[in-house]
Structure formats: structure tokens, C-alpha cells
């Protein structure tokens, strides 16, 4: 993995080194800058060496004839086998780095028909790249179709542009201006959906987009999504018709590819099925290869309701893994300090408090390994979220109940009923589109006027509400939320998180299974059958906990730490929002009660918005001007015996 940056403007070239330096955490193993002799383009890269650790893998990388220059951030699954195929065709690579493979494939595509998007659609992996064609003075920018790796583009004078892996690097080219128009969608999603970023004139390249720049003009292409492709990557046909066998083979291959690195590899471990399943397969594959199982990492909590360490340790013992338990932060100043740093890394408001855990975890992972396998994507692909069951119930039964009856029942239960039931009834009072809007909107404070990003998919054409919600989470929520956390928090400490469940054959296999099959027996029915042979029997049926902190407790701690008493907290939290004073106090008390998790999450997002609006300071000059706090540090429990 790497950090990449570049510009098409001659006047910006002197600033490029500053941008690259700001990405040094993404690539601590080397830096390189290339400038077009004709001053039409410049690009740089910082390198995290995971394949081909020699200088032959340095970037940016040039073609043999000097026509093409590539800056590549990513990982290509199965790249060694593809190199062998190229060698048989007479190509003599200078390295075995996957960036060079991508360079060859793009050169071939441009020479054949110029269809870069189709060439990239044949690759499974995670990437963002920039390719400069000196002969045509063309710049290609591309991002993988699942949105795993980021690429930000900022408009410059006279039609020029600059690009970088993180927003903070773009500040090297000039001041960035906040765009508060993202407020509506931020509060609904808890993140800013692409292409918006929260900064004016800065866009996050949408997933799968290929941008072609030439002489100030931009055209766009689109890499086909693997869920919409009918043939496997590189034409590798799969014989199985049984969905369990087909999904198993796809995941097994994807995990095996992800383990292929020229450095040590670790895995995340949990009490759930996704990371646990990946860790179990990784351990089995390692043993087949005569290697030790990869080291495991799990987040530990003082609250036993949230803690999965006992289950993770039992699983690690079963798999023969060494395991490290990383303690979640508990003290207010630790949580606040970590949160400020996450906002700097992301460069935009981000309201999921789990990002603090991900940063704490990644710091420890980075002290042991450069590559770590994760189970990101399992809930979205295999039907793991409870709201999918609500959507399935709506599809099969609830939509046939007269609307007047549904509204009457919702009024009788109200907001005081069980959380999931109340939310189901609230959203289920109209058609499927209304249910979709209500169930996906994370905002519990109506005065914030939150609204989802526009979605044009038709419920009927996507196979029903449950299928639509799974696809929306896969294509919008996953890249904006979990994948954002994995990339920024991992790369903050030089960790490349590889996500085998998002291998293209896996995504394709999961999409080929009917939604109702995924959702049988409470969800993840097919995935549970896939991983059952690798996990202890008692692990298969453990209740879902998830990677979530005690939000209400954290909210109370941080707000009191920053602002003090409840009145000051409410004034600061709702500053700039039209929420009556008495309602502010009600929301605050509900949020910290521990009985209204949706309200707690919304107020956490509101606190983050205020931090972001004040450059990460939460108006510290009001309360904290005379205080200073120690820097937080990760604590590690000794590896389990």
C-alpha cells in the first residue's frame, strides 16, 4: 500500500513534496517524486513495502520506453500468477510488485482500444491509481469498484487538478474551505457519502470511477461492479452449483491470495463470524503451506457486555494462533485525544465512534505486522444486520397489511416499545421506499433535518426491500463507513488491511445467492454453513456483539471533559442548530441514559460535527485553554498462552 499525490499544474509542482510528506504515514518505507520533463504533470508516492521489498518496487514506476508513469496504492489478488502468464507472453518484468503488473495491463489496454475501465474490471483487489501518458498528455485516475482505497481530487485554476490519497495532503496546495452543505447527509449516514467530502472543490472519486484528464477537459468511465458481472475474474469458471460450495471456494481463494505477502501477516479475531471465519481459513491455509498461523488481534473492553476476548482467545487456541488483546480507551482524555486524531486522518466529519477503537487497535497491529486480514463486508454481503430481517418481514407480510392498521399499531406502540419493534413500525407505515428511508437514516433528532444521499434504485427491480437495503449498504454505507475506517486508521500506522470477503469472486458469489437464502435462520445462513467446518461448534452460535464502544458512556465522558456541566454541554452541542432549549436537555438526558442508543449516536455525531466545524478543537478556547492532557497510549495485554 502507498500514499499517492500529484498535479497537472506547473505552478503546483513545487508544492508536491509537501503533499507527499503529509502521506508519509501511509508509506514509511520510501518516497519518490516524478516530474514530467515537459512540466505537464508531476506525481509522488510514499511506499509501504508488502510485495517485492527491494528497490525494484519503488514508485512512481515508469514503463521501459518512458511513455507511461504510474503511482499505485493498493493490492492485486493473485498477481504472481498473472505475472507468470505475462512472462510466457514474452514480458520481462523488472520486479514482482503488483504495481508493475497493473502498469503492463493498462499499457496493453491503451494500445488495444483505450478501454482502461474494462482492463481494471479484470482485477480483484483494492486500489487507487494515477497513470500519466506522456505522448498524449493524459492523466488517468481510477479507484476500485468497491471503494476500498480512497482518491481525492481538487480543482485548480485553468482546468487543472491535484489528487491525493487523503484530504490533509491537499492542504499542501492551498487552504481548504469547509462545505457545510454536507450536513444533511452527514447526520443521516454518520459520514459524508462520496463524491462529497465536506470541502469545497474537493471530491472523493466515486467507487469504480475512471477519470481521464486532458488539457483541462475531464471524461469519466466506470469499472463494472463485480456483483453485476456474470463471469469470474479473468474468466476462471467455477463448476459448483451449490451456493455453499461456490462461496466457500471463492472465499478460500481470496483468503489465500490475501496471505500472499513478502512480510508478516496478521488477522483480526472476534466473537462473530466474519473476522473469525477469515482467521480460521487463513490459519488452515497457512498450515497447508507449512507456515505458522498468522498472529491475531482483538479489541478488549472493561464492560463484559461488549467484550469478546474470551471467545476470541478460545478461537485462537483452537486455531493455534498467538493473540494480542488491545484494550479500548476508558479515560475521557484518551477518548478525546484519539477522536481528534481520527478527524485529522479522515479530514471530514465522521460520526461512527468505532473509529476510535479502530485507531487504537491499528496502532498495536502496526507494531507487529504490515498486513492484516479483516472480515469487513461480511454483514453487507451475507445478510448480517437485523434491519434486513425487518425488510424481509415487510416484503413477505407487513406490506399487505392495510396502511391504516399499520399506522394504528405504530401509534399504540409508539417510541416507548422495544427499540427494534418501534423502529420497524415507524418505518413500516407506508410503502417500501418510506421504510427504506426511515430504516437507513441514523439520525434520531428530527430538528437536524437529516436526509439520505439520493438513491435511484427501484425497490421492485432490485428484488424487494431486503435486497435493496443490502445493495445500498454494500455500495454506499460500506465504503463510506467501515472501509473508510480501515483505510485511514490502518494507514495511520502503516497497516495494510486486506479484505478477503470483498474479493470480486466472493462478491459475485454472494450476489448470486437469493436474499432469502442469506436471511434464513436470522441471517448469514449460507456464510455460517461455509465457516462451520473451521470454527468451534460453540463459536458458530454466539450472539452478535459487533465492534462498537459504549457510546452513551463515551459521550457523557467526553462532553463533560470538554464542556463541564449539562447546560454548557447542551449549549455547545446544539450551537447553530434550531433546537428548543427544553428539547436539548431532553435529548441529552436520553442520550446518556443508556436506554436510547440511537439518540446517543446522533449526539455523538453532533459533537463530532462541532469538532470538525472548529478545526478539531470543539471550541477548546472556551473551556480547555488552561488545560493540557497527556497523550494517549495503547496498552497491550500479554499474548495468550
User: Residue 240: what pLDDT?
Assistant: 62
pLDDT at 430 over 50: yes
Largest CA distance in the chain: 75
Q: Which residues contact 194 (CB under 8 A, 6 or more apart)?
A: 147, 203, 204, 205, 206, 207, 479, 480
Q: How many CB atoms lie within 10 A of CB 196?
A: 18
* Average pLDDT over every residue of 197-205: 96
d(CA 519, CA 463): 14
- The confidence band for 378, taking pLDDT boundaries of 50, 70 and 90, is very high
Question: Quick one: three-class SS letters along 357-414?
Answer: HHHHHHHHHHCCCCEEECCCCHHHHHCCCHHHHHHHHHHHCHHHCCHHHHHHHHHHHH
User: Residue 621: what pLDDT?
Assistant: 34
pLDDT at 631 over 50: no
Helix axis angle, 419-427 relative to 386-396, nearest 10°?
40
- The confidence band for 478, taking pLDDT boundaries of 50, 70 and 90, is very high
Q: Which residues contact 165 (CB under 8 A, 6 or more apart)?
A: 2, 3, 4, 5, 23, 26, 73, 128, 149, 150, 151, 152, 491
The C-alpha angle with vertex 434 and arms to 429 and 439, in degrees rounded to 5, equals: 90
d(CA 349, CA 481): 11
Q: Which residues contact 268 (CB under 8 A, 6 or more apart)?
A: 275, 278, 279, 296, 297, 298, 361, 372, 373, 374, 375
Average confidence score pLDDT of the chain: 91
Strand pairing class (138-143; 152-155)? unpaired
pLDDT at 637 over 90: no
User: Residue 641: what pLDDT?
Assistant: 25
User: Residue 20: what pLDDT?
Assistant: 97
- The confidence band for 590, taking pLDDT boundaries of 50, 70 and 90, is very high
Q: How many CB atoms lie within 10 A of CB 639?
A: 15
Element housing 152 (H / E): strand 152-155
The DSSP-derived string for 259-298 is T--SS-EEEE--SSSHHHHHHHHHHHHHHHTT-PPPEEEE
Cβ proximity of 270 and 548 under 8 Å:
no
User: Residue 461: what pLDDT?
Assistant: 65
d(CA 156, CA 144): 24
pLDDT at 616 over 80: no
For 164-174, write each residue's pLDDT tens digit: 999 999 999 99
Higher pLDDT, 269 or 627: 269
* Average pLDDT over every residue of 219-244: 76
- The confidence band for 413, taking pLDDT boundaries of 50, 70 and 90, is confident
Average the pLDDT over each of 46-55, 108-117, 576-585, 617-626 and give the range with the smallest value.
617-626
Q: How many CB atoms lie within 10 A of CB 437?
A: 15
pLDDT at 627 over 60: no
* Average pLDDT over every residue of 139-155: 98
User: Residue 93: what pLDDT?
Assistant: 85
Among positive and negative, which fits the CA dihedral 338, 339, 342, 347?
negative
Higher pLDDT, 418 or 361: 361
Cβ proximity of 326 and 295 under 8 Å:
no
d(CA 383, CA 380): 6
Element housing 2 (H / E): strand 2-7
For 240-255, write each residue's pLDDT tens digit: 679 999 999 999 999 9
Average the pLDDT over each of 208-212, 294-298, 544-548, 554-558 and give the range with the smallest value.
544-548
pLDDT at 270 over 60: yes
* Average pLDDT over every residue of 278-305: 96
* Average pLDDT over every residue of 380-389: 95
User: Residue 412: what pLDDT?
Assistant: 87
User: Residue 578: what pLDDT?
Assistant: 95
- The confidence band for 622, taking pLDDT boundaries of 50, 70 and 90, is very low
User: Residue 418: what pLDDT?
Assistant: 80
Q: How many CB atoms lie within 10 A of CB 376?
A: 26
Higher pLDDT, 602 or 618: 602
C-alpha cell at 137: 498528455
* Average pLDDT over every residue of 206-234: 89
- The confidence band for 640, taking pLDDT boundaries of 50, 70 and 90, is very low
Cβ proximity of 453 and 442 under 8 Å:
no
Average the pLDDT over each of 239-243, 550-554, 633-637 and give the range with the smallest value.
633-637
Using DSSP's 3-state secondary structure scheme, residue 102 falls into helix
The DSSP-derived string for 167-214 is HHHHGGGS---B-GGGHHHHHHHSS--TT--SBTTEEEPPTTEEEEEE
What are residue 248's phi and psi, to 5 degrees? -55, -50
User: Residue 544: what pLDDT?
Assistant: 80
Among positive and negative, which fits the CA dihedral 560, 565, 570, 573?
negative
Nearest Cα to Cα of residue 129 among 193, 57, 212: 212
Residues composing the chain = 641
Report the percent of the chain where pLDDT is more than 90.
84
d(CA 296, CA 316): 7
User: Residue 415: what pLDDT?
Assistant: 64
For 303-328, write each residue's pLDDT tens digit: 999 999 999 999 999 999 999 999 99
User: Residue 546: what pLDDT?
Assistant: 80
d(CA 426, CA 435): 8
End-to-end CA distance of the chain: 32
Q: Which residues contact 210 (CB under 8 A, 6 or more apart)?
A: 116, 117, 120, 140, 141, 142, 220, 221, 222, 223
Amino acid at each position: 500500500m502507498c500514499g499517492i499525490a500529484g498535479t497537472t499544474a506547473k505552478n503546483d509542482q513545487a508544492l508536491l513534496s509537501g503533499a507527499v510528506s503529509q502521506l508519509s504515514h501511509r508509506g514509511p518505507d520510501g518516497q519518490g517524486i516524478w516530474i514530467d520533463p515537459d512540466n505537464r504533470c508531476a506525481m509522488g508516492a510514499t511506499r509501504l513495502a508488502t510485495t517485492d521489498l527491494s528497490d525494484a518496487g519503488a514508485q512512481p514506476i515508469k514503463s521501459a520506453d518512458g511513455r507511461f508513469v504510474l503511482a499505485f496504492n493498493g493490492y492485486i489478488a493473485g498477481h504472481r500468477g498473472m505475472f507468470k502468464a505475462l512472462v510466457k507472453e514474452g514480458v520481462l518484468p523488472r520486479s514482482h510488485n503488483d504495481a508493475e503488473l497493473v502498469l503492463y495491463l493498462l499499457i496493453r489496454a491503451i494500445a488495444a482500444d483505450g478501454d482502461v475501465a474494462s482492463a481494471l474490471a479484470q482485477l480483484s483487489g483494492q486500489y487507487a491509481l494515477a497513470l500519466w501518458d506522456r505522448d498524449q498528455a493524459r492523466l488517468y485516475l481510477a479507484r476500485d469498484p468497491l471503494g476500498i482505497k480512497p482518491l481525492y481530487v481538487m480543482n485548480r485554476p485553468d482546468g487543472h487538478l491535484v489528487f491525493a490519497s487523503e484530504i490533509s495532503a491537499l492542504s499542501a496546495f492551498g487552504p481548504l474551505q469547509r462545505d457545510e452543505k454536507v450536513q444533511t447527509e452527514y447526520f443521516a449516514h454518520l459520514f459524508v457519502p462520496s463524491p462529497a467530502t465536506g470541502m469545497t472543490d474537493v471530491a472523493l472519486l466515486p467507487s469504480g470511477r475512471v477519470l481521464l484528464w486532458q488539457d483541462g477537459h475531464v471524461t469519466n468511465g466506470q469499472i463494472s461492479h463485480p456483483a453485476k458481472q456474470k463471469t469470474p475474474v479473468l474468466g476462471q469458471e467455477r463448476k459448483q452449483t451449490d451456493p455453499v460450495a461456490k462461496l466457500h471456494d471463492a472465499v478460500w481463494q481470496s483468503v489465500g491470495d490475501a496471505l500472499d505477502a513478502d512480510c508478516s501477516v496478521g488477522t483480526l479475531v472476534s466473537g462473530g463470524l466474519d473476522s473469525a471465519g477469515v482467521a480460521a481459513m487463513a490459519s488452515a491455509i497457512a498450515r497447508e503451506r507449512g507456515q505458522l498461523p498468522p498472529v491475531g488481534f482483538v479489541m478488549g473492553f472493561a464492560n463484559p457486555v461488549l467484550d469478546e476476548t474470551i471467545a476470541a482467545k478460545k478461537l485462537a487456541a483452537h486455531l493455534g494462533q498467538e493473540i494480542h488483546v488491545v484494550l479500548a480507551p476508558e479515560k475521557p482524555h484518551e477518548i478525546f485525544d484519539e477522536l481528534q486524531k481520527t478527524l485529522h486522518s479522515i479530514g471530514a466529519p465522521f460520526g461512527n465512534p468505532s473509529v476510535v477503537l479502530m485507531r487504537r487497535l491499528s496502532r498495536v497491529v502496526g507494531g507487529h505486522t504490515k498486513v492484516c486480514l479483516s472480515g469487513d463486508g461480511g454483514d453487507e454481503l451475507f445478510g448480517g444486520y437485523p434491519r434486513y430481517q425487518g425488510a424481509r418481514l415487510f416484503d413477505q407480510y407487513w406490506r399487505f397489511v392495510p396502511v391504516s392498521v399499520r399506522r394504528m399499531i405504530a401509534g399504540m406502540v409508539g417510541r416507548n416499545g422495544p427499540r427494534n419493534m418501534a423502529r420497524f413500525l415507524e418505518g413500516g407505515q407506508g410503502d417500501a421506499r418510506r421504510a427504506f428511508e426511515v430504516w437507513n437514516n441514523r439520525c434520531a433528532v428530527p430538528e437536524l433535518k437529516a436526509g439520505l444521499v439520493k438513491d435511484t434504485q427501484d425497490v421492485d427491480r432490485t428484488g424487494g426491500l431486503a435486497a435493496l437495503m443490502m445493495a445500498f449498504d454494500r455500495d454506499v454505507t460500506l465504503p463510506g463507513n467501515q472501509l473508510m475506517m480501515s483505510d485511514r486508521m490502518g494507514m495511520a500506522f502503516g497497516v495494510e488491511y486486506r479484505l478477503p470477503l470483498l474479493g470480486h469472486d466472493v462478491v459475485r458469489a454472494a450476489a448470486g445467492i437469493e436474499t432469502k437464502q442469506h436471511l434464513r435462520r436470522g441471517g448469514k445462513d449460507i456464510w455460517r454453513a461455509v465457516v462451520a467446518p473451521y470454527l468451534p461448534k460453540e463459536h458458530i452460535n454466539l450472539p452478535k456483539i459487533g465492534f462498537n464502544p459504549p457510546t452513551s458512556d463515551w459521550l457523557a465522558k467526553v462532553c463533560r471533559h470538554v464542556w463541564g456541566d449539562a447546560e454548557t454541554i447542551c449549549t455547545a452541542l446544539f450551537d447553530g442548530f434550531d433546537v428548543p432549549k427544553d428539547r436539548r436537555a431532553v435529548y441529552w438526558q436520553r442520550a446518556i441514559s443508556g436506554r436510547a442508543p440511537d439518540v446517543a449516536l446522533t449526539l455523538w455525531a453532533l459533537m463530532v460535527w462541532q469538532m470538525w466545524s472548529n478545526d478539531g478543537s470543539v471550541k477548546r478556547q472556551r473551556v480547555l485553554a488552561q488545560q493540557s492532557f497527556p497523550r494517549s497510549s495503547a496498552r497491550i495485554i500479554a499474548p495468550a498462552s
